[in-house]
Amino acid sequence: MWYAIAGYDAPDTLDRRLAARPEHLARLNALRDAGRLLLAGPCPAIDAEDPGPAGYTGSLVVAEFASLEDARAWAEADPYLAAGVYARVEVRPFRPVLP
């Protein structure tokens, strides 16, 4: 089943986000390579592709896992969470409809 994982950034964590980014991306690439990643990306804090020092408010990942528990376990092991970038993470079942 697909799951939507929403991470919400704590204030003033852009430096921590940038430092943890390679590890974070490695995990996403592993999901992609396994054919289990539908989409992933950050949410800029301002209306711009590159928000610069404004940073980000969080991230969204939609990926396939065997269960909600597996999706939660994957999310809880995210380097952004360990680095204190995310203040909280929500994991919910997701059903792709379009396109």
Maximum Cα–Cα distance for the chain, whole Å?
37
pLDDT value at residue 64: 98
Rg (CA), the chain: 13
Average pLDDT for 8-17: 97
Region 16-37: what's the mean pLDDT?
A: 98
Enter the pTM of the model.
Answer: 0.95
State pLDDT tens for residues 39-73.
999 999 999 999 999 999 999 999 999 999 999 99
The band of 99, judged by pLDDT with boundaries at 50, 70 and 90, is confident
Question: What are the residues facing 58 on neighbouring strands?
Answer: 8, 43
Helices (H) and strands (E) in the chain, counts: 3, 4
